[in-house]
Structure 1
Amino acid sequence: MRETRRVARVLGACAAALTLALAAPGTAQAANGVLFIDRAPVHDPSGCYPLGDFVPSEVANFTDETAFVWSGPHCDGRVTGAVLPGRLVRPAPGMSLFIQ
């Protein structure tokens, strides 16, 4: 009887794990296109990028995603602006840029 319960628990746990694995969303994808930070191209960008320390950076967003400017150096702090697709801006204040 104990062995039957144990097998039932193991099978139940396996079924639950399989259900969670199949229901999980797919992996995040990078933005499609090119993001220019101070005229340096980043193809299909994804993640956090530093901006200039002393002068406002120039950001040109030729992707299909909005990029967000953060007040902190590692995409932390607060969002201070956004760079919409097809836009060229000099975001200030801001120390980093995040795009998904």
Structure 2
Amino acid sequence: DPNSEANLLNEAGIITVFNSYGTGIRLWGNRSAAFPSETHPKNFINVLRTADVIAESLEYYTLQYIDRPLDNALIDAIVESCNAFMRKLKADGAIIDGKVWF
């Protein structure tokens, strides 16, 4: 129903939450509260969630490099290992593309 409260809220960039017939909680609407004044792809909740998961994964993975002496070889190793992770995500179809650089 285009005149429903949920759709009116979505037009203002507000996501609504509902219980979907006993199958769990669902979100209705895919844009963040930055919409409609901002049109960047990061307005989409799924883009933000994916970026958050990737960032947290890279942060967790790079914990192994903490307290090591920082030099160019270590930086190259960190960048390459992170890019290997991004290539795997791309090969799995999880992302379109991704690259880490320093």
TM-score range, shorter chain: under 0.3
Q: Which has the higher strand share?
A: 1
- Determine which structure has greater relative contact order: mean sequence separation of CA pairs < 8 Å that are 6+ residues apart, divided by chain length: 1
Higher Cα radius of gyration: 1
Q: Which has the higher helix share?
A: 2
TM-score normalised by structure 2 residue count: 0.23
TM-score normalised by structure 1 residue count: 0.23
